[in-house]
Amino acid sequence: MPSSVAVVNGGLDLLAGLVDSSQSALRNGSLSREKVNLKQLAQELGLSQTTVSRALNGFPEVSERTRERVVAAADRLNYRPSASAASLATGKARTIGHVVPLAEHMMINPHFSDFLAGAGEVYARSGYEMLIRVVSQDDELSIYRDLARTGRVDGFVVHGPMNEDPRIPLLASLGVPFVVHGRCHHSSTEFSWMDVNNREAFRRATDFLLDLGHQRMALVNGLETMNFASRRRVGFEEAHRARGLEADPSLIFSRDMVEPYGYDVGRQIFAKPNRPTAVLLSSVLPAIGLVRAMGELGLKAGEDVSIIVFDDQLSFLQQSGDGMRGVPFFTAMRSSIRAAGRRVAEMLMDQINAPGGEPAAELWEAEFVVGRSTGPAPN
């Protein structure tokens, strides 16, 4: 909220005088600002709409000479086909929908926007548009249905799947193509997905810490209703069990992955009598908060406390590679969420272009990178 608002109104009506007009510009063949439609373009060329349409859409049954003429004229008259007309005629919207609930725990966040950036690249390259619908949690399902039924989108990307996610059976029953970023426990329906091997990444990272002699470690996880977070926890616990150990449940946290979360947890766990000597975090964001808390408490990363983060390689952070001596600050499990966005979009394009195919699935292994934030357990 602004503490004060000043409103200023300028003069001048921009929009006037630019709208209507008609033949003149066409007749004299000038670069016109008017909207030209297919009919007019065809008339101008002395061709039928069919031919012009085919010429522009690269059909083989129109001669190269005609095509060139058509393209040149289209260019000169600044012709663009109406998206809605094309969509109505073909039944395709050439648009992908992303539905994002604006709730506490799945707002438009940096992870999400980096994913979008990746997906958006692919869409643009493939001639698709990206539609984003911000919704309040409760009407989420009906939004998917609406977007599909109104024909506004040809497919969806499903974000942040929960363990049992109602969106999957819904979309499957709607018969609309979709790709899930992550996985679910839905044994009943088959669907396309792309995921990082979260379980293995966290198992391995935990193992690494155990090797360094750490006994008490905390897990600063994402919301465990989300499938990725519950898998991470499993990996964490598995590594413990493999050595006959048990992860301390009081050191496992599950919240939205924001900066203050890491700070709060830090203040809390490091105040304990037998504080943990290592912390695994689901995102760099809370890790920053944790480091902030440690700074206030005089604790050093890599010495007093070892830290491993899951690094989505958020483009605006990139702490990973900028440390001193070329060694990254955070020891990390790395997997670019932007690359994931690209890949998911590609999979969806494939699915749309070759309908009726089998669902595809891809599992990426995260890279493990040792930085300066880990070291042997203090004695």
Sole binder of DNA in the list 82, 142, 189, 215 (CB under 7 A) = 82
Q: Is 190 in the site for a second copy (CB under 8 A)?
A: yes
Q: Is 100 in the site for a second copy (CB under 8 A)?
A: yes
- Select from a second copy, DNA, none the partner in contact with residue 317, using the beta carbon and a kind-dependent cut-off of 5 to 8 Å: a second copy
b/e sequence 139-166, b meaning 16+ C-beta within 10 Å: ebeebbeebbeeeebbbbbbbbbbeebe
Q: 320 near 329, Cβ under 8 Å?
A: yes
**The one-letter amino acid at 328:** P
Q: How far apart are CA 282 and CA 306, in angstroms?
A: 14
Tokens of 342: 């690209």
Q: Is 315 in the site for a second copy (CB under 8 A)?
A: yes
Size, binding site for a second copy by CB under 8 A:
100
Q: Is 31 in the site for a second copy (CB under 8 A)?
A: no
- Nearer to DNA by Cβ, of 66 and 126: the residue is 66
Upper half-sphere CA count for residue 9 (Cβ side, 13 Å): 3
Sole binder of DNA in the list 22, 24, 30, 63 (CB under 7 A) = 63
Sole binder of a second copy in the list 47, 54, 62, 113 (CB under 8 A) = 113
Taking alpha carbons only, the member of 188, 155, 186, 185 closest to residue 171 is 155
Q: Is 16 in the site for a second copy (CB under 8 A)?
A: yes
Q: Is 176 in the site for DNA (CB under 7 A)?
A: no
User: Closest approach of Cβ 184 to a second copy, in Å?
Assistant: 13
Interacting stretch for DNA, rule CB under 7 A, among 19-27, 44-52, 212-220, 222-230? 44-52
Q: 1 near 46, Cβ under 8 Å?
A: no
Q: How far apart are CA 222 and CA 285, in angstroms?
A: 11
- Select from a second copy, DNA, none the partner in contact with residue 245, using the beta carbon and a kind-dependent cut-off of 5 to 8 Å: none
Q: Phi first, then psi: give them for residue 250, nearest 5 degrees.
A: -75, -5
Q: Is 33 in the site for a second copy (CB under 8 A)?
A: yes
Beta-bridge partners for 129: 95
- Name the strands in the sheet holding 331-334, side by side, starting at the edge strand that comes first in the sequence: 252-254, 217-221, 278-281, 306-311, 331-334, 367-369
**65 sits in which H/E element:** helix 64-77
Q: Is 198 in the site for a second copy (CB under 8 A)?
A: no
Q: Is 58 in the site for DNA (CB under 7 A)?
A: no
Q: Is 38 in the site for DNA (CB under 7 A)?
A: yes
Binding interface with DNA (CB under 7 A): 35, 37-39, 46-51, 53-54, 56-57, 61-63, 66, 79-82, 85-86, 88-91
